[in-house]
A and B are shown apart, each in its own frame.
Chain A
Amino acid sequence: MNSKNCILLDHGSGGIASQELISGLFLKHLDNDVLASLEDSAVLDNQPGKLAFSTDSYVVDPIFFPGGNIGTLAVHGTINDLAMRGARPLCLSLALILEEGLDLEELERVIVSIGVTSKEAGVPIVTGDTKVIPRGKGDKIFINTSGIGIVTEGVNVSSTMAREGDVILLSGSMGDHGITIMTRRAGISLDGNLASDSAPLHELVSDLLDALPSGCLHTLRDPTRGGVATSLNEIATASGLTAVIQETTIPINNEVRAACEIMGLDPLYLANEGKCLALVAPERAEEALQIMQSTSVGKESAIIGTLKRGTPGQVVLRTNIGGSRVIPPLHGEPLPRIC
């Protein structure tokens, strides 16, 4: 690679090199009228309803992995954070921090992915920023996306809305993203199809909100870092109830289970990037399950447990053999075991 096809400090200068990057790369792949105006901020039409606003930064090594890359994560992650409050995502911002020397071809692959992903999701990138930091001060590319969404009047989805008796649904297999990244980082090659589950959840959420009677969908959480275990702990704490889940009902791919066995990891703590936990009033649980299973991202949805009166903030797993154990939140990064 020569210096002609990599990121230079000049690309973050705000001068001609920056302009070339914007017009030659960003506008080419992320084009829409609001962004193309290249104003200092995006001005959005007023929308009825309440505003949801979320931000997230993305640092991942490796930046490309089976099932996605840092760009797809940056789009899906913020869309999902908005959707978890019952919001319809309206638009995203995109801020890039690039390390001097980053291969331009790699950057283009990321930007193309961001363009495709945001178009498929119907959520445009309407404003952005780029900075370049000296080589060695970063790790290829860091991304921040912020997003604005609209919450329809009457919709109130939050952890504090979870109620005793609520049924807990998971929208598909757990751990796919976390184990894919960990095995790639470790250079462990396994047979099978380990791939990140990076996917947008806003359509699944809007299908649920449209079909279920108002007030029946109580809580949504996307179990990203910390996994299903940590999200359930947060819900149990916020609601002052005990979440009881059944090990046999939790969807998980065989490849993920096998990789977890090898590395001594518990899939309940692995990150997901295209899954959500939904807490639904018990009389509507079956209906919610069918709706989730009818979506492209929720085919493997399952009922995994219920919220019960008990020790406030506790999560209890009923194990395969009929025993039970407490599932605490994640402490520190999951580390592979010695043997």
Chain B
Amino acid sequence: MKYVDEFRDQALAAPLLEELHRSVSRPFRVMEVCGTHTMAIFRSGLRSLLPEGVKLISGPGCPVCVTSASHIDGILAMAEMDNVRIALFGDLFRVPGSSGLSLAHASSQGARVDIVYSPMDSLELARKNPEELVVFLGVGFETTTPGIAATIMAAKNSHVDNFAVFSTHKVMPPPLMALLDDPDLQIDGLLCPGHVSSIIGARAYQPLAETYKLACVVGGFEPADILQALILLARQIARKEAKVENAYTRAVSWQGNARAQQMVNEIFQPVDMEWRGLGMIPESGLAIRDSYAHFDAEKRFDIKLEPAEEPKGCRCGEILKGKEQPPQCPLFGSRCTPTNPVGPCMVSSEGTCAAFYKYGG
């Protein structure tokens, strides 16, 4: 498979690993921001090969994991309504709300719930079921938002009126700032997300590097990409530098994707957003603009999100902040497993707890 195999090849990985070992001058902690990075690191077995003293901490970059329980409660309330069909990406299916119930339970009780592979598929569902209102659950960071913006535009242009989006979209730099303001979080660098950066550009991390004196490197998702990013991070840390570097140039530019940014701005506007485990973060979410209010499920149903308590004993909040590791949670592996997840970090395949459970610490 082109553009994949060559970056998973041991012939390439072995010299990169040697170089990483040479580049490490002192122990350091790097936060991998993106859930896909977390998964890739586990799946490739990279953790077992890293130099001693290089510690990777999983950050808040799994969009499903940071979806708040109150948002899930809102989604479950919609799923119970007559003539409503919920369309979603698969990861969200088993995420529990404050009652511990999920869309998987709602589906078993007769709610119409469809897993789709692209937001455009949900538009097709709306066309096929004109008597229903199809609500697509818009979850994700900058990577997924442009596709959902395009879907809303397509719905408007083709007059598919029985379609709406429930937006819990989030944007990446603000939660990192909220995390980095916490003096307990001791990290030396950020492995910045590749896919998000293909939209917002590597320049988005410049304020982080300057304000928090952090080494920031954008990395791709194959083992060789991650190793290259870690080498650049190790070198910056050794030289006491704090700048933004791009180790994923085949996908990410300094400026990002202007057209995608413009589409997102056309449909969405920044709002304060509640994050699971992190609380309310100013301007960290995206809501649908009034000019597209017809396609906004929250407005159409007049949904009032009630504050919801996190499940008792669940340490997802601390894990999302990178302060604790999953095995430190009292529920991990006993009450909370991928089959019966309590917290969101276990339910998404990108979640830190799921990765720990599946692939070992």
Using CB atoms and an 8 Å cutoff, list the residues of chain A in contact with chain B: 186-188, 254, 257-258, 261, 263-264, 266, 317-326, 328, 331-332, 335-339
Contact = CB atoms under 8 A, between A and B. Distances in A.
Closest 8 CB pairs of A and B: A323-B45, A335-B90, A331-B338, A321-B13, A319-B45, A326-B360, A338-B89, A325-B45
14 contacts: A186-B116, A186-B121, A264-B349, A321-B13, A321-B45, A322-B14, A323-B47, A325-B44, A331-B337, A331-B339, A332-B338, A335-B93, A337-B350, A338-B92
B175 interface: no
B150 to A, nearest CB: 15
Interface of B: 1, 4, 8-10, 13-14, 17, 36, 42-49, 63-64, 89-94, 115-117, 121, 139-140, 143-144, 195, 223-224, 337-339, 348-350, 357-360
B128 to A, nearest CB: 11
Contacts of A339: 36, 63, 140, 143-144, 195
SS class, residues of chain A in contact with chain B:
loop
A338 B63 contact: yes
Given A257-B1, A335-B91, A339-B36, A323 B48 contact: yes
Contacts, number: 103
B357 A254 contact: no
B91 to A, nearest CB: 5
Contact of B357 (A186, A319, A328, A336): A328
Contacts of B350: 337-338
Given A325-B45, A328-B357, A320 B117 contact: no
Contacts of A318: 45
Nearest to A338: B89
Given A320-B223, A322-B13, A337 B8 contact: no
Contacts of A336: 89-90, 115, 117
Contacts of A257: 1, 4
Given A186-B116, A325-B43, 8 more contacts: A257-B4, A266-B43, A320-B10, A321-B223, A325-B42, A326-B358, A338-B140, A339-B140
A325 B359 CA distance: 6
A258 B3 CA distance: 11
Max count, chain B CB within 10 A of own CB: residue among A188, A258, A319, A336? A319
Contacts of A263: 117
A257 B90 CA distance: 19
A331 B64 CA distance: 18
Given A336-B89, A339-B140, A320 B44 contact: yes
A198 to B, nearest CB: 24
A326 B1 contact: no
B359 A323 contact: no
B56 to A, nearest CB: 13
A323 B140 CA distance: 30
B138 to A, nearest CB: 11
B94 A332 contact: yes
A323 B117 contact: no
Contact of B358 (A186, A187, A261, A328): A328
